[in-house]
Amino acid sequence: MSSVTRILLCHLRELPDTGSRGFVVEQSGEALDLFQVRKGQVVYAYKNSCPHTRGPLDWVPDQFLNINGDLIQCATHDALFQIENGQCVSGPCAGDKLTAVRVVIENDAIWCVSDS
């Protein structure tokens, strides 16, 4: 029988609209490096790992977006990913995807949710 694990990441008001923020949380006894991006009242979350290099996407803490704020950008080689689905649209990993992390918003709180 599986159970659901919920980890509070932050409150929606702490994540600016069209902003991003990184987190390291413990999941199943291991550290999970992830980030989230907000677009209006929707939050998208992904593992902080480029499908090309497996390295982190940010070069400055909490900076995961390109200068226009409309795509996720890998700081290592400038690959660009769609915010809504993590699909790489430009760069050496074009066609690959970021690994999505399930989050839910309840009462202004953003929770990382996983089955364990």
What confidence score (pLDDT) does residue 106 get? 94
- Is 23 a residue whose pLDDT tops 80? yes
Q: Give the tens place of pLDDT for each residue, 28-83.
A: 778 889 999 999 999 999 999 999 888 899 989 999 999 999 999 999 889 999 99
What confidence score (pLDDT) does residue 14 get? 95
Domains, the chain: 4-115 (2.102.10.10)
- Count CB neighbours of 62 within 10 A: 14
What confidence score (pLDDT) does residue 26 get? 84
CB of 86 within 8 A of CB of 71?
Answer: no
**Could you give the CA distance from residue 48 to residue 23 in angstroms, rounded to a whole number?**
9
For 70-101, give one letter per residue: b (16+ CB within 10 A) or e: ebbbbebeebbbebeebebeebebeeeebeeb
What mean pLDDT is reported for the chain? 91
